[in-house]
Amino acid sequence: MKLGNDLRIKTVTSWFPPDREAVEDAVAEGKLDAQDVDRLGLSQLPVSARWSAPEMAVAAARDAISRAGWSPSKVGLVLYTWIYHQGHDIWSPPHFVANEVGAPHALSYGVQQGCNAGALALQLAALHLDAEPGLDAALITTGDRFAPPGFDRWTSDYGLGFGDAGTAALLHRGDAGPDDYALRSLATATAAELELMMRHGDDFSPAPLSHNDYIDLRRPKKSYVEAYGKEKFTSIASRLIRKVIVDSVRDAGLRLDDPRIKYVALPRLGAYLLDANYVPVLDEVLKAEALRFGADTGHLGCRDFLATLADLRDRRRSSRATSRW
């Protein structure tokens, strides 16, 4: 999707809880073996012992608003994304976030698209700003806490360790002030048939955790692969990864070999998943350096996208500061 020349990400922030679980602890508890450790490529995961998912999102959002030097009243749209339990049942965390950051009258709603929801929320915010001349700014927020007993951050899925965090970004039309990023394009590709991977072999249930004592994504994925083979998923994933790269670069008005494309930031998946599904495609279509930021955070669900933008900004600033010396 081509976004024009005036959309800017004013700032983007991540908020991580102070506690960590080391990969060695998971090995000592019998959750991982040596092969698992190699496939994950992780050193530790951030763990929230106290803060709920929406509270972490609020912390990130307050930091973003403070960094921008804005009044919260400037925010007319609040989007919130998540994939796991938010602390209450049949409840609206987007409205909690809006109220807590001081924007209680902003249009607030949730975006549910799995781990891609952070990127999709940014795309939706861009559409709102394009269609609503009276909208000054949008706040995109994300939050998840992958806590027991319903979730095991080390073993609930193949090739992933799940970290707790909140993230936030402020999107607006450009002005004279400094911004973290200019937003030129966004691309999304869909393979709806792959929803079956997350439920294969299980009937529709009447209540959460009816199939297992905790979220177990390995069981339906294993059942899916036994029925359809791993090649089907790999083929679809490779095709769509290539498509979003080609589409986003084209819509930004660039060529795939443009020297201005310095970096491509990978999602915070396990090392094996990146090497198997992403790296071959990237090596084929781009000359940019591939960056990995997830070794000490793990997979952050729909926070991956914004957390990586924050890390990329900080990396760039650190590099500039070093070069001055």
Q: pLDDT tens digit string along 154-213?
A: 999 999 999 999 999 999 998 878 999 999 999 999 999 999 999 999 999 999 999 999
| Average pLDDT score, the chain | 95
Q: What is the pLDDT of residues 114-134, one digit of tens each?
A: 999 999 999 999 999 999 999
pLDDT computed for residue 199 by the predictor: 97
Q: How far apart are CA 57 and CA 144, in angstroms?
A: 8
Query: What pLDDT is recorded for position 316?
Result: 78
Residue 28, exposed/middle/buried by CB under 10 A (0-12, 13-18, 19+)?
exposed
247: burial class by Cβ within 10 Å (0-12, 13-18, 19+)?
Answer: middle
* Percent above pLDDT 90 for the chain: 93
Q: Residue 202: left if φ>0, alpha if ψ -120 to 50, beta else—which one? A: beta
List, for residues 223-260, the tens digit of each pLDDT value: 999 999 999 999 999 999 999 999 999 999 999 999 99
Q: Could you tell me the pLDDT band of residue 320, with boundaries at 50, 70 and 90?
A: low
Return the amino acid letter for 177.
G
Domain ranges of the chain: 1-202+213-325
**pLDDT band at 322; cut points 50, 70, 90:** very low
Taking residues 99-118, what's their average pLDDT? Answer: 97
Q: Per CATH, is 1-202+213-325 categorized as 3.40.47.10?
A: yes
What is the pLDDT confidence band of residue 319, given thresholds at 50, 70 and 90? low
pLDDT value for 37 = 96
**Residues 30-40 pLDDT 10s:** 999 999 999 99
Strands 165-173 and 7-15: antiparallel
Query: What is the per-residue pLDDT for 314?
Result: 93
pLDDT attached to residue 174: 85
What is residue 325's predicted lDDT score, i.e. its pLDDT? 39
Residue type, 91: W
3-state secondary structure of 324: helix
- Virtual CA dihedral for 222, 265, 171, 245, nearest 10 degrees? -80
The type of residue at 317 is R
Looking at residue 216, what is its pLDDT? 96
Phi, psi of 285 (to 5 degrees): -105, -20
CB-CB contact of 183 with 4 (8 Å):
no
Query: What's the whole-number mean pLDDT along residues 47-71?
Result: 97
**The pLDDT of residue 324 is above 70:** no
